[in-house]
Structure 1
């Protein structure tokens, strides 16, 4: 597990380390500079001639310290300052005085070009940038990007929001970024992650008095994340998944979710679907139990029976938005006492009647993509996309659900302010049916007694890993949702 931080959390840790722990900020600045030098030496940068472009905040102070250390190594280095010197921080003033003693060249003349340099250090803005970039700052970032010289950014690429990954007008395109103590959320979310390049996290002695609320999985051992499977067991030991999915002659979503649940380890899977889907599902997945119903003639006793049978319920994939779907969803939410995963048309139905979420005693997991979240919240898709974490957290807290916001970086938000950001997966997974596979994986893990809070981020991570394995076997153009299910076999061979 790797923790991720907001700019406000990081500022708090910096202040706490300096004022409470007693490590002077200049000492932290020196350690930051040493970490940048180490990365320059190991990150395949040509250091024949280096430009260090600095603002007047503490990020610029880091840059000045880097330039001085490069000068001590007999490297041709020049510091370019941009901005208002009246805004210079005390630490940066001190670093400038030190650099002047070492006769490091410093200029405030904006270069017409950086093409003569072999490496550029970006130390213009740190994590505190909130406004859109303009004026001289905009111009010098343009020059940096136009130079096509390798860039190393300090903490975050200048112009990227440390909290959202947004481009604030313009941003430095870095080859690598050295960030301190924790990776910033904006270095994980798009488009910030593309601008940051390879991110190295350097330990410079920052002390965190409390752990961050956001995290991600990286190279975690999967076996440590999965539910235990006792040797003395039977199919009932690994839970019962009820998949309520499909509509007239639409069975693919039901098949994908059910098979993914089985492949993830569920003991039994039952599909509740219209009668017309019986034969094809029996042929596709003979391992599944099948309980067909006649559309618009829901047998209440039969529906009650399958709800009471299950350990976890998936509802929505391929069902369509109809009175029939609403009736089934309403019954499930009112009667179930087990986790309920609402996906696809279950979400679209829910968007028309959100009060259903206030009538349940179940732990509810919603799994919207951007369009579905826009319908649930009556917000524009652009607003959802630009504020993924904020929107997922707000919905989770308002309705006391776990919100799995599906995007290139899927967000798992809980009512308890804990947030997970997923980094596994690839663009080949942007194809029909992959969401159905994800709900099946979630259900399979929950059925094996992994709590919803634990199983949702693990499921998203596992889903992405299987997609990555598939992309390597095939390619990102040809990937199908069913291929991801096949790859689960390889992923789970741990």
Structure 2
């Protein structure tokens, strides 16, 4: 797994490396500058004429050191310093002095049109205010230039923890991030501004003595290969039994997508508890599942109780509706189920009035809200979440003792513990009706096969995104539908399992 850090965390790591381990700041700066230099050479950026734009802090000092290295390689390079000299750090002053002795060219107010590559070393990870004044005008010029743009550590103007654009930001083709990728280039909008991100090892590591309140990771394909297992001696009972309570008389598709998705994830058996109007539809389209049908004015409590006892895991919500009948189904499950539970969609919308039952539920729960549902459950606004996605997701998970899958362009997964996960698979083609129903099925399938709730959630979201990426390759993002994700889930598991 890869770890991400915020700007605040990066400063702590930087400080520890310098003060406790004893590696001088200028040594780290040389390594940082060299890593940007190596990326520019390796990626064959147009280096006929390079401009390095520097602020007054250590990000600017990295830029001056880079300019010296380019100059010593006989690459035509200019440095323009935008920062106030009275605000120069000690390292910035030293780097300028060294560069001048090597006769590096320092310029002022030059037209950007003559440069083939521009290096953004204006602001580092510590920026916490909106960009304005001359900086804003210069960033606009950079974004309008024809040159390739390389950002040092993070594009200037991007919040290092949330990816928010602070007024305006540099739109880079490449970002070279030091030690760890910053959360600001993982979350959108920052991910769009960062371009291709390369993480450079400059000698900063997280020592055991450094303990963040929350550490943030992403689960990758290689992790999936290590985690997936399937016993050759197993049978349909071994691979788990899913009870899915889903679909009303108008939304058989949600039940179909979730049930089919669970089966395509490798679960042994699926039983769907759904409205009797779906009797003529679902068994025809998905004969591999079992069914229990109930009428308009009942929930078929005796049959439901038997199914709850039969199942290894239970899912409720996709296409269920929010009427009194649906509410009664959720209440029955929360009162009488003794199995791990996945609550999605309408189940979440109904949950607001059942939180007392959720708090009493003694078995693992995975909840999968999109941001609107998160807002209704937490009482916080979507804007609040965007400003603190890691902390607020983990806080709500801890409050209700659940594993929370907070769905957005970058889905955040947390269980209230120290480790939080941000998913980096998937694409915009997955923003289509039914995609969440497919995810619910994948989560149920993994949970039923014996994966721990947090593992099932992190793996499931990763698989879901990878299936979306496979679908996008074959069909394109515009033409994708939710059913494609089910098809490609099998391909993902085949390749990575």
Q: State if a TM-score over 0.5 links the two structures.
A: yes
Q: Which runs of 5+ in 1 are unaligned?
A: none
Partner of 1:116: 114
Partner of 1:359: 360
Partner of 2:135: 137
Partner of 1:464: 465
1:386 is displaced (CA, Å) by 4.6
Partner of 1:451: 452
Contact 1:82 1:110 in 2 (8 A): no
1:410 is displaced (CA, Å) by 1.1
Contact 2:308 2:338 in 1 (8 A): no
1:251 is displaced (CA, Å) by 0.9
Partner of 2:60: 60
Contact 2:369 2:407 in 1 (8 A): yes
Contact 1:333 1:361 in 2 (8 A): no
Partner of 2:225: 223
1:421 is displaced (CA, Å) by 0.9
- In structure 2, how many angstroms separate the alpha carbons of the residues matched to 1:435 and 1:44? 41
- In structure 1, how many angstroms separate the alpha carbons of the residues matched to 2:105 and 2:230? 64
1:106 is displaced (CA, Å) by 2.1
What is the CA deviation profile of residues 408-430 of structure 1, one whole-angstrom value per residue up to 9, with x for unaligned ones?
11111221032111111111111
1:356 is displaced (CA, Å) by 2.9
**CA-atom RMSD in angstroms:** 1.5
- In structure 2, how many angstroms separate the alpha carbons of the residues matched to 1:19 and 1:384? 35
Contact 2:308 2:339 in 1 (8 A): no
- Of residues 21-30 and 301-310 in structure 1, the stretch that sits farther from structure 2 once superposed is 301-310
Q: Which runs of 5+ in 2 are unaligned?
A: none
1:219 is displaced (CA, Å) by 4.0
Contact 2:246 2:272 in 1 (8 A): yes
Contact 1:57 1:88 in 2 (8 A): yes
What is the CA deviation profile of residues 215-242 of structure 1, one whole-angstrom value per residue up to 9, with x for unaligned ones?
113442533232x221222110001111
- Of residues 151-160 and 305-314 in structure 1, the stretch that sits farther from structure 2 once superposed is 305-314
1:168 is displaced (CA, Å) by 0.4
- Of residues 278-287 and 25-34 in structure 1, the stretch that sits farther from structure 2 once superposed is 278-287
What is the CA deviation profile of residues 437-473 of structure 1, one whole-angstrom value per residue up to 9, with x for unaligned ones?
0000000011110111111011011011111111212
Contact 1:110 1:140 in 2 (8 A): no
Partner of 2:400: 399
Partner of 1:276: 277
Partner of 1:171: 169
Residues paired across the two proteins, number: 491
Partner of 1:342: 343
What is the CA deviation profile of residues 266-314 of structure 1, one whole-angstrom value per residue up to 9, with x for unaligned ones?
0110101112212211111111111112233223322221111111111
TM superposition score normalised by structure 1:
0.96
- In structure 2, how many angstroms separate the alpha carbons of the residues matched to 1:296 and 1:347? 22
State the SS of the aligned residue for 2:222.
Answer: coil
- In structure 1, how many angstroms separate the alpha carbons of the residues matched to 2:447 and 2:180? 31
1:385 is displaced (CA, Å) by 4.0
